A and B are shown apart, each in its own frame.
Chain A
Amino acid sequence: MTFLAPLLLSLAAFAGVPLLVHLLRRRVTRRVEFPAVRFLMQTEREHSRERTVRNRLLLILRLLAVIALVAAVARPIAAIGGSGHPPLAVAIVLDQSMSTRAVVNGRTVFSGLQDVARDVAGRLSPDDRAWLVTSGGQVVAGSAAELQAAIAGLEPSAGRGDLGGALRRARSLVDAGAPRTPVIAVVSDGQRSAVDTATVIEGVPVVVFAPALAATANRTVQTVALEPARWVPNGRVTATISGADSVAWRVLLGDRTAARGALAASPFEAPLTIDVAAQASDTGWITGRVETDADDFPGDNARVFALLAGAPPAVDVRRSAGAFVEAAVDALVADARLRRAASGARNVVAIAGATDPVDGPAVRLAPDDPLQIVAANRALERAGVPWRFGAALRDTVVVAGAAGEAADPTVAPGGARVTLRYRLTRVALTGVADSGQVLAVAGGTPWMVAGADYVLVASPLSMAATNAPIQASFVPWLRDLVSQRLGDGGVVVDAAPDDTIRLALAADSLEAADGTRRAIDAARVVVPAEQGVYLLRRGARRVGALVVNPELTESDMTAWDDTDWERLVPDAPVVRVSEPNRVADTVYDRAGGRSIAWPLVLLALLALVAEALVARGVFASHASEAASTAAAA
């Protein structure tokens, strides 16, 4: 037997009260003169045994009443008969991944899953604790009505979601419901790829409703690739497509169909490839899609993409930037990744020493000579940069990420050694809201900091100060600084719906296809749930595109088998239910006991009634009447 409120068992101390009273009665101090004591003695002599039995019976009944009441208050659960259904800590894990959008018999799989989840939630009692955990990361705790309302308000997502994470979360939640019997009810379409293989749920009974996956003639656009990344204005679209039968496909650039065709049937594991040459009809960001004809599983019939049409980002390298920077930019220009332009023109990023006066976005490098620090700081002040160079530090340190971890190679030349650096100090500037962010540190002090239109490096990029210029990551890092962080380089970020990602470029808002914007934190961006292209903006500029497509694994309709479930839940029974109307019964049969609070209350009442009868001597009088009758006979 377990108790839902075990702390209340401390009230059992009150059971000692009858015992105490019983014992204290042995110490009578009041004396009363009574001549007929001989009758009392005779009564004691004749009835002592009967009275002893009665007193002990009274004590037992009083103790029983107190203990039964205390136990009832502590809300006991026992594996014997009782009222209601067993108290459960049940987590309903609802799969809302894209694969549940599949249509079977004119109805989406998700609708059927909702019905099952609602049925399970509808059987909850007030003694239960329950949570709804979705593969999309939503957690709702509450009563039956609250969970049913939450379930009804859900829609299938455009991505894979995280059913494994939902299971792990459910595992910890049901533990919090102890001592109720924990049960996890998984309501899923049973797609094998829904749960990653690393997920293991231990020690909790799991009831799985996973209907057989629909054998749809699925057509899938598996991948889309663009070459080059920046079209000037020509490029190629390469896609892989699979289908159970012949597939008609189209490539759209904006609203224009750039190409169309048909492919023979191909299995999911061996898709066919299309390679389409296309030309951008405009400059700037262009969204496109590769799509097939619709089928019963519409989620993977198209994949979207984004390209930037136009000239490469412009850069103006000043002499003060040093020879290594000059050489790296030459290589990037030769590869058409960058183009040279005079600073001051629109969207031109300058790379210069900090003492150089520069208008517009710039990468500013510390001076080689510490005597130029004053001039450099003066130039920073004029440019509105809220950082100042301090004392020169000549110890040898290694560049690391801002939080001390290994530096992101797209952010800083990670692992580079630094032998000369200046201590960077943040200052408050009147009228400048952007205080900047630390991108990399070296020896515990900021080494590279950035704002909306500047990147400031605490060392000159020369071999006398650092070996960063001879690192393999140096040229890509410089390219990303110019084209993505400060310029309009057209970075494309691929993501899955509902993912949480960190952007390597400075962006402050996300613009949807309909023009609506929402602010974002580049360090932690929650990817929209809907498939599509979302432009990344830094202020008024579009600096990249977030391309959201469902994971390819969502198109793999391979179902879980028993082995998979046994691996997922290694030491507890997994009950697979295929009939929707049997799921709730199976879930509520998992409990190890039932509430016996009311039977205990009844027991306490019976004990009190019996105590009253015994105290009044009802049984004794009946016995004496019976004895008198017998004697008379």
Chain B
Amino acid sequence: MIRRFVENSFSEHYTVSIGVHILKKVVEIDPNNSVSLILWDLEGTDDLDHIRESYLLGSHGIIYVFDVSRPTTFQNIHQDLATLDRKAKDVPVKVVGNKVDLVDLSEVTEILENHTISFDYLASAKTGGKVNELFEQLAKMLASDAEEI
């Protein structure tokens, strides 16, 4: 998803991320202002309790991504969000369902509602659907938070 946003590319050949990849993208939030996003792409894990805490140090926002085509990736979402809240206190979290291109959108929405899962975006790294909106909205939010501080 980050590669789609930063490089506008997508590879069908899926390579598992290990550790952390860090990429940078400058996002224009209005004609006069832009924000440099340093994006830390962390490897997926079954249990966020095991995530290395140093990866979250200094973060201003978190994007929590699950795979809408694999229920096992969102069955622990409530627990994971609670863990993030504990490990990265007061850091805003955006919840995103990826791979919507693989499923029936109304069916997925119904399943997520049944699991009381609220999400910010249903996106597709493959088609690019909602990816830019997600990062741009997050950038705007972080810039506005920084101004308030």
A binds B: no
Q: Which A residues are closer than 8 A to B by beta carbons?
A: none
Q: Which B residues are closer than 8 A to A by beta carbons?
A: none
